[in-house]
Structure 1
């Protein structure tokens, strides 16, 4: 399952969020095309306090317009229904905040930088859709803030967005807060390893005025109890799930209810639906438990290839190396042993 984590330790704005997703390879040309009749969009590479980032820009005529007119304009765009719903919800969040700030009914509210509101709400929706994140989990850090506009403060309060004061500048905007209120699953720190994208803001500060987005996969532990499969079937299941791309699999002997002896099969994976289906197909189990993995500590390691000589032939073996030692890849040793009819130990000796 895909997962997105947003690090808002330098604040958040619409252009920062969009720039970060474009840096994660969301299709900018598609965004530009869909909004071509509304604004002239561009994206450029910038550096903020030493950090390379994408800067998303939009050129348009500044003017105030009613929320209801802007909402109607989004409905008329040639975009998917999912993108329309999200963009309209973001726009409505902004309108509610402005309504409260100015003491007006929502259908009477005029939004300042009206076109910018449409651009940011639609662009973020298209970017999330392109990255296939519309229905995935999105986590976010506590949001750094400084000076708060009344609309920003209202959105933060109504949506219980956790904040921390780190600046005397307006580093979090109403649009940024409105977007977070509509896309974030939960505000919490997540240790996620994956592709990183950086979106730049307008300001030049002592710390990088960038928002970092990390796109990765959520790892889960699948487990099921089996009491009516032979060891041969269980061995085959283990081999199949590893061939299909599971991160790890292990089987534990267990005593089940009524004294029945069975096995607990556990699979570490980022594709729970796929491997749950395999377990059900191969073992006949009626259910698979999905357990979240909150942390996983990994040693930094690298793969190095070495060449050994057997007779007048050369074979390559991959070696996993870390600061704690090294270990040859089992499958390489086994393949070479079978090919040359040598024992496993004989091939290992060649590495010394």
Structure 2
């Protein structure tokens, strides 16, 4: 059985998942074409390229928004800091020789937030194949239910500020497209380290893991580590929580490909990357 294993030794986020899958051999150009079915491609550009994180060559995936209006404070702890310039941090040795795809669309419909219902409608209308649609809908439902639970709202009243922002829509649906493209039949994951400390979000200063992330990870083994930073984002946590059938150590498998997806942050003593391992299990 063709199996994908998420090795989350430095946490998991949406952009790390896509970077790792591209690094493992998935085709980002085909993903970019598929994503056009959402009809929001005037709102973003995508880029990807190789970077070195603490000695490990990995792939960094960026969603570059075409308007500043979508930048909310909530993004400050995900990957917004690098949106405008892919190799701003010289100490990361970011040799970014990736693709820059510039679409010449005039930006017009900018949403700083979208409702859960709008996202579901967009996915249903996009005519993705069944597997991509089902994965995407399940991940959004997981996040929507967590946000609704925390804010005391029914699912159809949930507004996605962080996740409804375009980059997280791309991260979730893009991940589903790449997993489908790679012919993955089974997903497994390590336990998820969440990090510690605190994070600034729309509602103020919150503990790490942020409430939505913790809610999403109910029933999922959380790994401890002493890094004072947010390692698992709501998007990354939901991708793992929904797709992984089991959580634990690397299963017995014949490894076919390995990918490293870079996160935005750089840590002193370990590479901030997500490793994906793809191969045949019995």
Q: Deviations over 1:236-291 (max 9, x none)?
A: xxxxxxxxxxxxxxxxxxxxxxxxxxxxxxxxxxxxxxxxxxxxxxxxxxxxxxxx
Does 1:176 find its partner at 2:236?
yes
Give the equivalent residue in structure 2 for 1:4: 4
Partners of 1:48 and 1:128 lie apart in 2 by 24
Give the equivalent residue in structure 2 for 1:153: 214
Give the equivalent residue in structure 1 for 2:158: 109
Q: TM-score, normalised by structure 1?
A: 0.59
List alignment gaps of at least 5 residues for structure 2: 71-111, 196-207
How many angstroms does 1:162 deviate by? 3.0
Partners of 2:220 and 2:4 lie apart in 1 by 20
How many angstroms does 1:123 deviate by? 0.4
Q: Which structure would you say has the larger RCO, counting Cα contacts within 8 Å and 6 or more residues apart?
A: 2
Does 1:124 find its partner at 2:162?
no
Does 1:85 find its partner at 2:146?
no
Q: Deviations over 1:195-236 (max 9, x none)?
A: 210001110112111000111111x4xxxxxxxxxxxxxxxx
Residues 34, 77 of structure 1: 8 Å contact kept:
no
Q: Deviations over 1:16-54 (max 9, x none)?
A: 111111111111011111223423211111111111111
Residues 191, 220 of structure 2: 8 Å contact kept:
no
Does 1:186 find its partner at 2:237?
no
Q: TM-score, normalised by structure 2?
A: 0.73
Other structure's SS at 1:194 match: strand
Residues 161, 181 of structure 1: 8 Å contact kept:
no
Other structure's SS at 2:224 match: strand
Residues 91, 117 of structure 1: 8 Å contact kept:
no
Partners of 1:19 and 1:6 lie apart in 2 by 12
Larger displacement relative to structure 2 (29-38 or 174-183): 29-38
Give the equivalent residue in structure 2 for 1:199: 261
Give the equivalent residue in structure 2 for 1:342: none
Q: Deviations over 1:296-345 (max 9, x none)?
A: xxxxxxxxxxxxxxxxxxxxxxxxxxxxxxxxxxxxxxxxxxxxxxxxxx
How many angstroms does 1:78 deviate by? 3.4
Partners of 1:28 and 1:78 lie apart in 2 by 19
Other structure's SS at 1:85 match: helix
How many angstroms does 1:144 deviate by? 1.5
How many residue pairs align between the two structures?
A: 216
Does 1:16 find its partner at 2:16?
yes
Residues 216, 234 of structure 2: 8 Å contact kept:
yes
Match of 2:271 among 198, 202, 208: 208
Q: How does 1:17-96 map to 2 (within 5 A)?
A: 17-36=17-36, 37-38=39-40, 39-60=44-65, 61=67, 62=70, 63-96=112-145
Structural RMSD (CA): 1.5
Give the equivalent residue in structure 1 for 2:85: none
Which has the greater radius of gyration? 1
Partners of 2:226 and 2:17 lie apart in 1 by 19
How many angstroms does 1:137 deviate by? 2.1
Give the equivalent residue in structure 1 for 2:81: none
List alignment gaps of at least 5 residues for structure 1: 221-352
Other structure's SS at 2:228 match: coil
Higher strand share: 1
Residues 142, 164 of structure 1: 8 Å contact kept:
no
Residues 261, 274 of structure 2: 8 Å contact kept:
yes
How many angstroms does 1:171 deviate by? 1.0
